[in-house]
Structure 1
Amino acid sequence: MAKSTLADPPVMTSTAEPLRPAPVRGVHLRRRNLWIWAFLMPTVVLYGLYTIYPIVASYWYSLVEWNGFESEQRFVGISNYEAVLADPGFWNSVWVTVVFMLLVAPARIILSLLLAIVLNSPKLPFAALFRTVYFLPVVTTTAIVGVVMQFVFDPASGPVNAALQTLGQSRGINFLGESGLALLTVSAVYVWKFFGITMIYWLAALQTIPRDLLEAAKIDGASAVQTFRHITLPLLMPFLIIITVLTVEDTFRAFDLMQTMTGGGPFFSTEVIEIYIYRWAFAASIPQLGFASAAAVLFGLFVMVFGFFQLWAVYAARRLRVETR
């Protein structure tokens, strides 16, 4: 028999390691997610009960007539909104809120910037101590601050009037009892109370400025004012937009301080929108929760507008920061 001239095919010996089963990751991921949700669930439930549900319920209450005590709720549609918009007291509270914002926001932004520049100096001794001292009022309970400030500005025995009498003031000044002074007084206390937050914002912004630029300007003979005008301020513009919007939004949450210091008086001169809502919902002889809810919804829409401004400010600040690089 003739032998085949073709060579036998080579015997292939596999050198690869045998396939191992892939680790089962799905079980571990599900177990990890289960633990995450287990820890988040209390927060989710409480947030839903005390934040989400009241917001949703307020929209329904704004469409009904209800005093909060009886089970009957009579649907009235947009009548509550028409009544709120026709109430001069509502527009007075809007005016007071806007004036309060115009008094507080510029003072917080400008004064805290100037102080932050001083505290950001590496040559300042005890800078960390001063930062802590200025930030201490922020962590103090606002309601307690309001109660203490009632005593501080008391026209009969308060330390402010006692100091004024030593300077020649014949009689005590009722800072919280006169309509022309009450809003200014509360505004000053509010600036002092939340001054530290804006200062921390500015300190964080100032630390983003390269020290090389400041030292180069100093070597070139630039004064402190020239350095601030031509180097510091242009680099701070993106942060200025964001800090301004955050500060303006923060002025809409002055209920606790205003309520403890003046309660909206005298003669509604310090009644911001939050106190107006509180007065109709809880302080009236016959509560009008539907009316108060309609005012709260309008106030929420008012704040939402500034929320859109905040989104625009973040976008504009990012573009401006890229352009200044």
Structure 2
Amino acid sequence: MAALETSRELSAGSARPAKVGVWRRLRKDWWIYLFLLPTLVGYGAYTVYPLVASWWFAFLDWPGFADSGTFIGIENFQRLAADGLFWNAFGNSFLFLILAVPLRVGLALLLAILLNRKRTPFKGLLRTLFFLPVVTTGAIIGVVFTLLLDAGGPISVAMVGIGLLDSPANFVASTDTSLLAGVAVWVWKWLGITMIYWLAALQTIPQEVHEAAMIDGAKPWQEFTRITMPLLIPFLVIITLIDTVGALNVFDLMYTMTGGGPSFSSEVIEIFIFRTAFGATVPQLGYASAAAVLFGVLTMGIAIAQAVGLRWARRATGAMT
């Protein structure tokens, strides 16, 4: 009997495929990776190398014209700490984030709930219409809305016509509204993708849960607050973190809409980096690289928080199921 069991174990062991090492697999299928070579070269040259080089440039006094810069240690970072325009851009970026992310997440959730109902007409058409701005280039949207939000544009004229404004206003040329205009356009552009996230999350809730709530006599608001929303909390964490990272990358939209003006009122950190590196009379690539490093560390911290939040959400989802 023992011999029979041993023979079965040996046969089972022999049936298992032997593990193939990485280098052996590379030698065997080397021709497959030739197709990846152009992408790897491009990614290395235009993403990996600039990322690594910016950390070195951050410690240099380098205008970009000379072959090499002068090593100055942490002086660029010390200058940033005392630069009011840097902290203004930093504050604008965070103000943009604080205003835009809750608005985008909340409006997208509301749309997703409406479009997830069986009785909502033209659901497919409405989903497509809300998603169309997502696939449109941010720079093009910025240019178009610069015209729409002008004092003579249709938005200002319509607001005067219905009595919301006493006189036409150029929303992108005012220090009071330029950043808010960027927030509104950014939310409109990316609302569709967040709506899709919420639709996917809503469809993970079993229909039996909603039917049981209806049988128990729960009203729509009670069903949402006591059943739907608690089940969506893990997805809320993930979606909020994804949108937060997106709110820190608004260069194309804000640059084409306002260029950071007027009077730096809408200058976010990305525009500050671009202006310092390429828009100044004397470019300061080393100084701009230091600002980019700080911005990268901030984004990296949010990405780590996203990974932690994703792990927590998966555990919470597993506990619910």
Q: State the TM-score, normalizing by the size of structure 2.
A: 0.90
Deviation (angstroms), 1:30: 5.7
Partner of residue 156 from structure 2, selected from 158, 161, 186: 161
Say which SS state the counterpart of residue 31 (structure 2) adopts: helix
1:224 aligns with 2:220: yes
Equivalent residue for 2:260? Answer: 264
Aligned counterparts of 2:260 and 2:83: Cα–Cα separation in 1: 17
Which of 95-104 and 220-229 deviates more?
220-229
Report the residue type matching 1:161 in the other structure: S
Deviation (angstroms), 1:32: 6.4
Q: Percent identity?
A: 50
Report the residue type matching 1:248 in the other structure: T
Equivalent residue for 1:8? Answer: none
Alignment deviations for residues 245-279 of structure 1 (CA, whole Å, 9 cap, x no partner): 11111100000000000011111111110011011
Equivalent residue for 2:293? Answer: 297
- Structure having the higher helix fraction is 2
Aligned counterparts of 1:153 and 1:265: Cα–Cα separation in 2: 15
Alignment deviations for residues 266-300 of structure 1 (CA, whole Å, 9 cap, x no partner): 11111110011011000000000000000000111
Partner of residue 240 from structure 2, selected from 231, 237, 244: 244
Aligned counterparts of 2:194 and 2:103: Cα–Cα separation in 1: 10
Which of 1 and 2 has greater Rg? 1
Q: State the TM-score, normalizing by the size of structure 1.
A: 0.89
| Structure 1: runs of 5 or more not aligned | 1-24
1:128 aligns with 2:114: no
Partner of residue 272 from structure 2, selected from 256, 273, 276: 276
Report the residue type matching 1:140 in the other structure: T
Equivalent residue for 1:205? Answer: 201
Deviation (angstroms), 1:123: 2.1
Which of 164-173 and 268-277 deviates more?
164-173
Report the residue type matching 1:160 in the other structure: I
Alignment deviations for residues 213-252 of structure 1 (CA, whole Å, 9 cap, x no partner): 1111112211111111111111111101111111111100
Report the residue type matching 2:233 in the other structure: M
Aligned counterparts of 1:78 and 1:90: Cα–Cα separation in 2: 16
1:96 aligns with 2:68: no
Say which SS state the counterpart of residue 209 (structure 1) adopts: coil
Alignment deviations for residues 35-74 of structure 1 (CA, whole Å, 9 cap, x no partner): 3311111111100000000001111111111111122411
Which aligned pairs between 1:12-51 and structure 2 lie closer than 5 A?
33-51=29-47
Aligned counterparts of 1:72 and 1:237: Cα–Cα separation in 2: 51
Say which SS state the counterpart of residue 176 (structure 1) adopts: helix
Deviation (angstroms), 1:34: 2.0
Report the residue type matching 1:42 in the other structure: P
| Structure 2: runs of 5 or more not aligned | 1-19
